Chains A and B, each alone.
Chain A
Amino acid sequence: MVVNCEQVWQEISNYLDDDVDVDVDLRAAMEAHFRECKRCRAVLEGTRNVIQLYGDERMIDVPLGFGHRLQRRLEDNMQSRRRRFLGWMVAAAAAVLVTGSFEIARSSVFRRPELRSEHAQAGSGLPPDMMIVVSPNGKIFHASGCPFIHDKAHVRTIVVREAIKEGYAPCVRCMKKYLRADLSSPESLADAQR
């Protein structure tokens, strides 16, 4: 097997790496060529020098204090991860507490009654012992003279506390003044300030 300069150049890297691409025959042929060809010998030695020079770790200086700075960065990161983890734990615990209390509230006597009307808002500025009227098929409780009472023939008179417990909502017209006094919701607070 005989190889020319160009074939040698294309395999010179694999030759230097002892790569399987250069089999025994090719290697022998290349070695024979190097003995004869000064130019290819120069290319071989030069390439070997390149590999040796760049492979030396002195080629690139590592800056002073690099390891220390790296260690500090890792520690900072781990600490913030721990803090984040603790934060999540606290948040999760809080969520469990909130859900827990909600469930307790739902199942307890303190449970807020479900409103008969989905559009209504429960009034909380109302005097609980005030007498009002409700009708069995209505959703709203009224002052007895209110012109908006539904099914006037069958109204019964109860106190506000009971009406709320039964899910009735205050009439926005006749109970207006009490609703305006309700400072528990942001809207009514804004109204009151106006």
Chain B
Amino acid sequence: MMPEGVTSLNKPAAQPSEDLLIRHIQDGEHEVFYELIRPYERCVYRTAFAILRNEADAEDVAQEAMLKAFKNIGQFRGESRFSTWLIQITVNEARMWRRKEHAHLMEPIVNREGVEGNYVPRDFADWREIPSETLERKEIRDKLAEALESLGHIYRDVFVLRDMQHLSIEESARALGVSAASVKTRLLRARLMLRDLLAPGLGGNWSTRLPFAKGTKPW
């Protein structure tokens, strides 16, 4: 069971009409394309935003990804879920955009080292309770976004697909063109790094940067 508020890409795909819509579009009935992608438009935007961290860029990339999907719908053979295919196109578009637009920017300094070697948690603060209303607070969302942004691209991309868009390990691997083993290793590091950054206590940026008293939880 997924927690409340979680978008599942499985839900819309379960509708039998999706295959029918795709066939109609492939047969030239282009007008129904928007109907096909509407259930996923928010996922596509969120994926682009999580990778690019900029609203205008994310919107452009989301639109480009949809146009590309429309142009290439004839090549969609149903080997993967349509949603996975769409997210894969979005990830590729976002990565191309990042390379093109931000080639001058350096990779985030935090944890830029390779995936070799075991990751050792730096923070052991107890962080058990987590009321979901927490996310209603913008400063918390900003803090989470800031932590995500500080991860290297290879970790962030895997984390976005697996934990934010809920793709499976295999789907994430296919979307990123890496092995399932790499996805697992990067995912482990991404999760542990984020926990280190967010868990209140020693070494966590969370407690030092947020206007909360050091060592106390914001919730």
Contacts and interface: CB of A to CB of B under 8 A. Distances in A.
A47 B31 CA distance: 44
A66 B130 contact: no
A81 B71 CA distance: 10
A53 B63 contact: no
Given A56-B3, A56-B135, A70 B63 contact: yes
A78 interface: yes
B14 interface: no
Contacts of A96: none
Interface residues of A, number: 42
A43 B55 CA distance: 33
A45 B136 CA distance: 21
A169 B40 CA distance: 72
B41 A53 contact: no
Interface stretch (A9-17, A102-110, A181-189): A9-17
A70 B135 contact: no
Interface string A1-26: 00000100110111011010100000
Given A13-B184, A45-B126, A63 B118 contact: no
A19 B183 CA distance: 12
B98 interface: no
A69 to B, nearest CB: 7
B177 interface: no
Interface in B1-22: 2-3, 5-7
Interface in B39-63: 41-42, 45-46, 49-50, 55, 59, 62-63
Interface of B: 2-3, 5-7, 30-31, 33-34, 38, 41-42, 45-46, 49-50, 55, 59, 62-63, 66-67, 70, 118-121, 123-128, 130, 132, 134-136, 141, 144-145, 148, 159, 163-164, 166, 169, 184, 187-188, 191-192, 194-195, 198-199
